[in-house]
């Protein structure tokens, strides 16, 4: 059977890479790594030299952990091209450490017939402590059809895919306006609300002047009426 290929259309944000556990680091592996990299640092291969400067034993080079992460990615992303890789070392490696390498898809985007995937990868020791962490960017084919076009000299399959990321979520859509909101009738401007008048203090009412007491009526005897008869 042909080796499994990695295609863009089958990947989703958050997909996890199968964890890879490595055998404990030993002195033979350190000697082989020094020969392969042509780096014979005494701290990595000479026990006496390491203890002379106060180290408990020789220390494994941090780039060994980065090599394990590279193996994790290449085993998973068959058919993909590594375009960029970076790493940050957080803890020293010692003989006897057993590393477990993990990873997940953190970004994906495609434009102009080119498709990219970014991975978060890291390694933990037997205590669950983070030892090294990094990111890897891959260029992959969109699908089997896209790869066939490339092999036969045809133009690539173009599918524009906006960037999706675990760190940069797309903005939430604006809420739709409520249908119950009152709208002014067409052709007539909406009546503007008049500003409320400020309360003013009314002038105090003048008190009514007290009425004068009525004059008492005279109670004297009436004068006798004059007689109408004339004296003879």
84 forms bridges with which residues in the sheet?
137
- Quick one: pLDDT band at residue 166, thresholds 50, 70, 90? confident
Once rounded to an integer, what is the mean pLDDT over residues 90-116?
95
CB 101 within 8 A of CB 19: yes
Q: What is the pTM of this model?
A: 0.67
What does the pLDDT read at residue 1?
34
What does the pLDDT read at residue 212?
57
Once rounded to an integer, what is the mean pLDDT over residues 103-126?
95
Question: Top-level CATH class of 8-24+60-165?
Answer: alpha beta
With tokens 């859509």, the residue in question is 173
Delimiting residues of CATH 3.10.129.10 domain(s) in the chain: 8-24+60-165
pLDDT at residue 201 greater than cutoff 80: no
pLDDT tens, position by position, 135-149: 999 999 999 999 999
Which of 139, 85, 151 is closest to 114 using CA atoms?
139
CB 104 within 8 A of CB 14: yes
Residues 6+ apart with CB under 8 A from 20: 68, 71, 72, 75, 100, 101, 102
Q: Give exposure, 32-62, as e/b (b: 16+ Cβ within 10 Å).
A: ebeeeeeeeeeebbeeeebeeeeeeebbbbb
Kind and range of the H or E element at 74?
helix 62-76
């Amino acid at each position: 059977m042909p080796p499994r290929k990695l295609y863009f259309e089958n990947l989703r944000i958050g997909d996890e890479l199968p964890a890879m556990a490595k055998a404990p680091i030993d002195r033979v592996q350190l000697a082989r790594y020094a020969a392969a990299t042509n780096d014979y640092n005494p701290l990595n291969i000479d026990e006496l030299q390491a203890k002379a400067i106060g180290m408990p034993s020789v220390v494994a080079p941090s780039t060994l952990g980065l090599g394990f992460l590279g193996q994790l990615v290449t085993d998973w992303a068959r058919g993909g091209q590594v375009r960029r890789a970076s790493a940050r070392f957080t803890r020293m490696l010692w003989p006897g450490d057993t590393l477990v390498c993990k990873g997940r898809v953190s970004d994906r985007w495609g434009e102009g017939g080119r498709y990219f995937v970014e991975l978060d990868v890291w390694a933990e020791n037997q205590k669950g402590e983070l030892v090294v962490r990094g990111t890897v960017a891959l260029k992959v084919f969109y699908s089997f059809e896209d790869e066939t076009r490339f092999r036969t000299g045809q133009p690539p399959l173009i599918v524009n895919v906006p960037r999706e990321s675990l760190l940069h979520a797309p903005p939430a859509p604006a809420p739709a306006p409520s249908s119950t909101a009152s709208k002014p009738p067409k052709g007539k401007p909406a009546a503007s609300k008049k500003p409320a008048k400020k309360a003013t203090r009314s002038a105090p009412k003048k008190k009514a002047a007290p009425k004068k007491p009525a004059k008492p009526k005279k109670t004297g005897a009436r004068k006798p009426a004059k007689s109408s008869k004339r004296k003879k």
